[in-house]
Amino acid sequence: MPTVLITGCDTGLGRAFAQQYARDGWNVWATYRDLANTIADDRIRHAALDVTAFAQFDALRAQVGAEPIDLLVSNAGIGLDVGTLGELNFDYVQRMLSVNLVGALKLVETFVDNVAASQLRRIVLVTSRMGSIESNLSGGHYGYRASKAGLNAVGRSLAIDLYPRGVAVTMIHPGWVSTQGGGPQAPMDADQSVASMRDVVARMGNHETGNFVSYDGRSLPW
Ligand SMILES: NC(=O)c1ccc[n+]([C@@H]2O[C@H](COP(=O)([O-])OP(=O)(O)OC[C@H]3O[C@@H](n4cnc5c(N)ncnc54)[C@H](OP(=O)(O)O)[C@@H]3O)[C@@H](O)[C@H]2O)c1
């Protein structure tokens, strides 16, 4: 069975990704910001990873070794900033860029050889439609939008640079989902969103790379 490594499994979508792939018999590496949140499932291998703590990437790389990773899911992220211009919280803006953008890039750099050594050779970056510049008609959310637009830019470059190694990169928007980040009003739960995203990813061939898509498979504007 294939192997998947997922970040941000403490809650929400990351947790649902780990549980669903484990249920389907995949070999799962789930990473957590806090190992106290470990999923109670002994089919899953658990590891600590705060994506802003670079030393933890080295420790995780040592733990995983040269094991092939068929699917690398960069899911860890922090949610919407709400400050308006004039009262922005720049510490939060910077943290958002560190987690949502720099952390995702560091994850891929750390495990790219493991992915290239696998059979499936897929990288999924959980992004957001809020990162679309073209469909931004409501403004605000400076940090979050910039972090996800930046992530999309990173994903596109990764897709080009990794094409010769047969590695495909997909930027996927999970929909509006009722998690810690999405809030309780969201119309979809984490299990529904993840089932749909997994289906979209499973249906894509490796020639389809560098795409920005929604959980239901629709292409999204940059
Ligand atoms: N829910 C939505 O409607 C929605 C929409 C568009 C995009 N997204 C994206 O979906 C992804 C998952 O979010 P979610 O909705 O599942 O929200 P969530 O429940 O808040 O999950 C985010 C996860 O990322 C973890 N995380 C935060 N900072 C981290 C760090 N420095 N290192 C490692 N992990 C860290 C969180 O851990 P802690 O619990 O310890 O903070 C949490 O487990 C995010 O990238 C988010 O931007 C969600």
Sign of the torsion angle spanned by Cα atoms 178, 221, 201, 100: negative
Read off the amino acid at residue 66: A
Q: Give the mean pLDDT of the chain.
A: 97
Please choose, from the candidates 121, 150, 215, 206, the residue with its C-alpha nearest in 3D space to the C-alpha of residue 176.
215
Torsion, Cα 24 49 172 206, to 10 degrees, reads -70
For the segment 97-108, the average pLDDT, to the nearest whole number, is 98
Angle of helix 142-162 relative to helix 103-116, nearest 10 degrees?
20
76 in contact with ligand 1, CB cutoff 6 A: yes
Ligand 1 in reach of 50 Cβ (< 6 A): yes
Structure tokens at 204: 């894509």
Q: List, for residues 184-193, the tens digit of each pLDDT value.
A: 999 999 999 9
Residue 206 has pLDDT above 90, yes or no: no
How far does the centroid of ligand 1 lie from the alpha carbon of residue 79, in Å?
7
Quick one: pLDDT band at residue 221, thresholds 50, 70, 90?
A: very high
Distance 120 CA to ligand 1 centre (A): 25
Q: Give the fold, CATH level 3, of 3-214.
A: Rossmann fold (3.40.50)
How do residues 72-84 score in pLDDT, each as one tens digit? 999 999 988 778 9
Report how far apart, in Å, the C-alpha atoms of 21 and of each of 83, 156, 179 are. Answer: 37, 26, 19
In this prediction, residue 115 carries a pLDDT of 98
- pTM greater than 0.85: yes
How does pLDDT run across 4-38, given as a tens digit for each residue? 999 999 999 999 999 999 999 999 999 999 999 99
What confidence score (pLDDT) does residue 116 get?
A: 98
Residues of the chain above pLDDT 70, percent: 100
Strands 211-214 and 122-126: unpaired
